[in-house]
Amino acid sequence: MKIILQVRRMNKLPSSFRDSDGFLYQEDDTLYRCINQSYSANYEMLISSGLYDDLVKKGLLISHVETNKSKPGGYKIIEPKKLNFISYPYEWSFSQLRDAALLTLQIQKRALDKGQSLKDASAYNIQFTKGKAIFIDTLSFEVYEEGKPWVAYKQFCQHFLAPLALASHVDIRCLHLLRSYIDGIPLDLAATLLPGKTKFNFSLLTHIHLHAHAQIKYAGKAKKQTGKGRVSKMGMLGLIDHLTTAIKKLKWQPKGTEWGNYYSFTNYSETGFETKKSLVQSFIKKIKPATFWDIGANDGTFSKLAANKGIETLAFDIDPIAVEKNYLRNKESDNLDMLPLLMDFTNPSTNLGWAQEERSGLKERGKTGCLMALALIHHISISNNVPLGSVAKFFCTLSNYLIIEFVPKEDSQVQKLLTTRKDIFPNYHKEGFEQSFSEFYEIVEQHHIAETLRTLYLMKAKV
């Protein structure tokens, strides 16, 4: 009873319940991880083998410090480096999930070299920081027992291989299945959806098709058997190497799209574009936010204005091509503290999982210092019929500062949206926009964008 009461006071994270070896909790805005006695030998091995130092030094594993705190039943309490925003696999682009998969395999290989193995291979163990994937679960390592198969093989295939294969061979939108199946895509479903030609791909044949077949065939049967099935260390290394090759071979290239020409400001003159950039820069300089969310970021051209100032930036877009391009460019050249994420703001991520608390919705993950919505309002209000007041109300839950561009009906982009439908938006004009947003925000600044019909606003939420 005493233990239960203490756990409650500790504010245990609702997502931290699966692993009996420890849990995450928050105390005074600091995140801690309690390591239970059951994990002590594995933790000591992680540290004494040098694996922890090796992975942290290479930026593959999140660092932590051991604290002097103690809890009943606890072995140690560590304080991991805190991340301000946790993203989920169903918000990642193809290459983000692919890099997360390769990182998991790379860590498993390094762990095997040091006599350890990953006891899980969840995509939720990976986060992105400064453009690169990082492993965040310090309790995922266990002492390797020679001959023991990889306990996380099924999970790896469900969390990584199946969604990537579906995105690569069927449709990129298959990645949305990860939102419904939070423990990864069932392999029998993946095998059903994949085209028949993938049965002639040895990697997909073995790790998905035959794997799915075996799961169905032996479901509930082999648990009664207690034989001495073995996977040698060389076999394990071969499996990891083969999975690595399989993941690397999976590519996604949007059909009929030239990467280099995808993004273009067809509606802007050079002057208009530069005016908009300098206005955004001046707003950022004025409010100096700690974090910045650009919603409808496209390939992140404007998000970089904040990220270049050292501000932790999230660049959301509904388009998987834009998110993919933004991620790859940032990873390969820019290396900014910017995380591109896939998000449909007409249907943002919601609370999911056990008790609707395991994976947080977007607004449950906290407010940002500044929200920016450039060339987005017409997509939400006209394409999706959301009243302007409702947009303002929702934006207000995400940030106290808002940079927003109003695109009037006369703009060619809005005209395109209205070409095939009846104009049922009598209040969609500059005055109507200002009136609707004034209920929730005060307008700090507004500027006409040169050589366009658009206006850029800086707003502050009313307390």
Partner 1 sequence: MIITVKYYFCCMSKNIEFIKPLLFIASILCLVPKVSAYLDPGSGSYIIQMVIAGFLGGLYAVKLYWYRIVGFFKRSPRVDENNSAGQKDE
The only residue of 48, 202, 288, 412 in contact with partner 1, by rule CB under 8 A: 202
* Distance (Å, whole) CA 149 – CA 164: 23
Residue 229 makes contact with partner 1 by CB under 8 A:
yes
* Half-sphere exposure (Cβ direction) of 308: Cα atoms closer than 13 Å: 12
Residue 430: which residues within 8 A CB-CB, separation 6 or more? Answer: 406, 408, 455
Interacting stretch for partner 1, rule CB under 8 A, among 143-151, 171-179, 365-373, 422-430? Answer: 143-151
Residue 154 makes contact with partner 1 by CB under 8 A:
yes
Per DSSP, helices labelled H in 301-371 are 303-307, 320-329
401 neighbors 429 (Cβ within 8 angstroms): no
The only residue of 12, 130, 148, 409 in contact with partner 1, by rule CB under 8 A: 148
Residue 5 makes contact with partner 1 by CB under 8 A:
no
User: Other CB atoms closer than 10 Å to residue 91's CB: what's the count?
Assistant: 22
- Residue 337 CB, shortest distance to partner 1, in Å, is 17
- Residue 40 CB, shortest distance to partner 1, in Å, is 16
Containing H/E element for 275? Answer: helix 270-287
3-state secondary structure (DSSP) of residue 84: coil
* Distance (Å, whole) CA 241 – CA 305: 40
Residue 119 makes contact with partner 1 by CB under 8 A:
yes
* Distance (Å, whole) CA 31 – CA 53: 21
The only residue of 18, 173, 288, 462 in contact with partner 1, by rule CB under 8 A: 18
Query: Which amino acid is present at 121?
Result: A
The only residue of 15, 63, 129, 215 in contact with partner 1, by rule CB under 8 A: 215
The only residue of 3, 47, 151, 290 in contact with partner 1, by rule CB under 8 A: 151
The only residue of 27, 41, 70, 238 in contact with partner 1, by rule CB under 8 A: 238
Interacting stretch for partner 1, rule CB under 8 A, among 26-34, 228-236, 335-343, 359-367? Answer: 228-236
Number of residues that bind partner 1 (CB under 8 A): 62
Tokens for 277?
């950039």
The only residue of 10, 83, 189, 231 in contact with partner 1, by rule CB under 8 A: 231
Residue 133 makes contact with partner 1 by CB under 8 A:
yes
Q: Which is nearer to partner 1, 100 or 417 (CB)?
A: 100
Residue 19 makes contact with partner 1 by CB under 8 A:
yes
- Residue 137 CB, shortest distance to partner 1, in Å, is 12
Residue 12 makes contact with partner 1 by CB under 8 A:
no
The only residue of 219, 355, 424, 463 in contact with partner 1, by rule CB under 8 A: 219
Interacting stretch for partner 1, rule CB under 8 A, among 172-180, 212-220, 347-355, 367-375? Answer: 212-220
Residue 192 makes contact with partner 1 by CB under 8 A:
no
- Residue 111 CB, shortest distance to partner 1, in Å, is 11
Containing H/E element for 213? Answer: helix 211-217
Q: Which is nearer to partner 1, 358 or 434 (CB)?
A: 358
- Residue 300 CB, shortest distance to partner 1, in Å, is 20
The only residue of 13, 21, 321, 328 in contact with partner 1, by rule CB under 8 A: 21
Residue 34: which residues within 8 A CB-CB, separation 6 or more? Answer: 10, 22, 23, 24, 25, 71, 74, 76, 77
Which own/partner contact pairs does 232-236 have at CB distance under 8 Å and 24+ positions apart?
232/146, 232/147, 233/112, 233/144, 233/146, 236/112, 236/117, 236/149, 236/150
Residue 205 makes contact with partner 1 by CB under 8 A:
yes
* Distance (Å, whole) CA 436 – CA 254: 39
Residue 115 makes contact with partner 1 by CB under 8 A:
no
3-state secondary structure (DSSP) of residue 445: strand
* Torsion 260-262-267-268 (CA) sign: negative
User: Other CB atoms closer than 10 Å to residue 16's CB: what's the count?
Assistant: 16
b/e map of 134-147 (b: 16 or more CB within 10 Å)? bbbbbbbbbebeee
Residue 50 makes contact with partner 1 by CB under 8 A:
no
Residue 197 makes contact with partner 1 by CB under 8 A:
no
Q: Which residues bind partner 1 (CB under 8 A)?
A: 18-21, 99, 102-103, 105-106, 109-110, 113, 119-120, 132-133, 147-155, 157, 199, 202, 205-206, 210-211, 213-223, 225-232, 234-242, 244, 248
